[in-house]
Structure 1
């Protein structure tokens, strides 16, 4: 189903919970779809090896002639894609039982999330527990800010970086490479420094247990040590750092944020976790689905978080068959244009506004008149 929904199909209450979708659709999927996907572990390790190889080559860049340094740029691009794959493969690993031994699972996840600055214990709390159970509700740490929330530094930076009617092209470009880091800093600092669920600079603060907090702090120190080790290995050489550390990170974060922005930011808020209303799947070229573990099938993932991602297309076919009037499936280009044509703060659960509250726009995926959607496009 494409973006243009008829007025008859846009009033979709009552909500259907994730558990209800899963209960109906699971018997229609093959049993092996729910077996652990061991390929995600191998992909994680292969892309770690690619990054290590890239740093090994970069170690000798000071011996290259300036005229030949451009030859390293393809390595920068491949390393940037490896960072994307590390997030998505570790994401799948932590949703599944591909590695059953908890210590080995934690170690492999730590390696996979190091360049994302995300301790695996923190990731399981913020993503698996908070985001997946409270998707696009007022308690979801990954949602847009509410207009009524204070205009603090967290809200200001997100307003500066995210695609919207107000964003400046320069800050949008800067934000593509840095918004992920700000997201991590915002939520990590809230948990490590305060952990009271009351901090107002994330979209929605949350708490972790004392045991989790200690584990997050330890894992963060290990991550910091690994980053410093990479910088020392590269000798703090500006060219080496630019081409093999900063540029791959910027490329990787930009690719990740494209998916993150389109996952939920166009959707209305929902008190009940209805993934067909609060999530979006996007159509991308097949190559990107191959490279990125079908991450574009995001609604499908929210219906079945632990399923083998190779089976997302089958889940999508079932959603189109049984819930076609509810399912948000959009071309990636259209999703991006909609982001740039709508404000980014929730005025109500179904309307967006800008930082000053001067412009009010109905959520384009659930507005009452499909003419509004066509105009937005």
Structure 2
């Protein structure tokens, strides 16, 4: 056995599976942390109303004086934040921490995810089932591409858009507003057109059942209908579309991607699902934690996916107490700096490289070599 394999075996022995963290910490958390919190459903509904209200105001923009159109920008910003909240609140809803009524979950998650061009059935498959059970492993559809994977259009676009040491600022800006759509397009087309693990333009292809495949197709038609309805409501008017449709969506996608890029992209890969190794939590101003349902507590979420997000700070306290030094936790600005200083393809589990495979940069997080 060569040195690299010996190192890999040694690191695996030091990893702790997600279930072990959960088993140890579960008795230390209050029972109400695991009870549904219907108030989060009200948050989802409120932000749907905010977006709809923005469209109602936007429908009048053709009657505004051209020199006053800038007054709509704060409205677009609020709408953009609501799109972020729709994603994160739908995320909590789909994990079962809000309500247990399946019919209500189905309807509200469909409405909440529709502006993100995501369907509930697809979300259950790609996020709940694949990503959470195979986090940042070879089989995680949300991981970075590997250096030795084919240079397909999916890999090329991700290389062009995502934050890295090589990314051009112009393409990074484009990617912030569109990478979420690219992610969805890759995965949805993979399962709808092929549904085969041999698909090579996604980081890790997965399959869905025939029933799920039909549901994804039907739900996607519904999402298209919602967007077309909005476009018709705005009369396909260029100013209305630019300011009240495209701009809020771009702001929302960019805000969501800021979080999502930090979740795992600078973390090491792991064959064992150890959230303290393969995930990253970030510190953001308290206002953003309040607005965005504590989504910055990402490692904590991966240990308890079904917990009320209000209790993520308590989970962090317990992790730091019982597993001192293991939690990857950075200020958001520092996490972003590291993203822009490292390449974005995995050369191996702990090493990043560039498109050409010429660089070798060790994972910059403290837990890339886990310690007990």
Q: What TM bracket, shorter-length normalisation?
A: over 0.9
Q: Secondary structure at the match of 1:50?
A: helix
Which moves more between the two structures, 359-368 or 273-282?
A: 359-368
Partners of 2:97 and 2:307 within 8 A in 1: no
Tell me the distance in 2 between the aligned counterparts of 1:208 and 1:97.
24
Alignment of 1:209-220 (within 5 A): 209-220=209-220
Structure-2 residue corresponding to 1:29: 29
Partners of 2:79 and 2:248 within 8 A in 1: yes
Task: Return the offset for 1:101.
Answer: 2.8
Structure-1 residue corresponding to 2:241: 241
Which moves more between the two structures, 146-155 or 322-331?
A: 322-331
Tell me the distance in 2 between the aligned counterparts of 1:285 and 1:13.
36
Quickly say closer, same or farther: Cα 1:368–1:77, change in 2 above 3 A.
closer
Structure 2 residue runs of 5 or longer lacking an equivalent are: 1-9
1:44-85 superposed Cα distances (whole Å, 9 cap, x missing partner):
100000011000011111000001111100000000000000
Quickly say closer, same or farther: Cα 1:223–1:194, change in 2 above 3 A.
same
Partners of 2:234 and 2:240 within 8 A in 1: yes
Q: Secondary structure at the match of 1:330?
A: strand
Partners of 2:327 and 2:367 within 8 A in 1: no
Structure-1 residue corresponding to 2:344: 344
Partners of 2:36 and 2:100 within 8 A in 1: no
Structure-2 residue corresponding to 1:174: 174
Tell me the distance in 1 between the aligned counterparts of 2:215 and 2:347.
37
Q: What RMSD, in angstroms, separates the aligned Cα atoms of the two structures?
A: 1.4
Alignment of 1:98-117 (within 5 A): 98-117=98-117
Task: Return the offset for 1:11.
Answer: 6.3
Q: Secondary structure at the match of 1:116?
A: coil
Task: Return the offset for 1:39.
Answer: 1.7
Structure-2 residue corresponding to 1:95: 95
Task: Return the offset for 1:366.
Answer: 4.7
Structure-2 residue corresponding to 1:267: 267
1:208-253 superposed Cα distances (whole Å, 9 cap, x missing partner):
0000000000000000000000000000001000111000000000
Partners of 2:191 and 2:213 within 8 A in 1: yes
Q: Secondary structure at the match of 2:352?
A: strand
1:99-157 superposed Cα distances (whole Å, 9 cap, x missing partner):
33322211111000000000000000000000000000000000000000000100000
Q: Secondary structure at the match of 2:46?
A: helix
Structure-2 residue corresponding to 1:53: 53
Structure-2 residue corresponding to 1:6: none
Tell me the distance in 2 between the aligned counterparts of 1:140 and 1:189.
17
Structure-1 residue corresponding to 2:127: 127
Task: Return the offset for 1:12.
Answer: 8.0
**Alignment length (residue pairs):** 360
Partners of 1:11 and 1:366 within 8 A in 2: no
1:185-217 superposed Cα distances (whole Å, 9 cap, x missing partner):
000000111101211001000000000000000
Partners of 1:350 and 1:366 within 8 A in 2: no
Structure 1 residue runs of 5 or longer lacking an equivalent are: 1-9, 370-377
Q: Secondary structure at the match of 2:115?
A: helix
Tell me the distance in 2 between the aligned counterparts of 1:13 and 1:247.
48
Partners of 2:281 and 2:329 within 8 A in 1: yes
Structure-2 residue corresponding to 1:144: 144
Quickly say closer, same or farther: Cα 1:19–1:170, change in 2 above 3 A.
same
Tell me the distance in 1 between the aligned counterparts of 2:213 and 2:270.
29
Task: Return the offset for 1:13.
Answer: 4.2
Tell me the distance in 1 between the aligned counterparts of 2:129 and 2:68.
48
Structure-2 residue corresponding to 1:20: 20
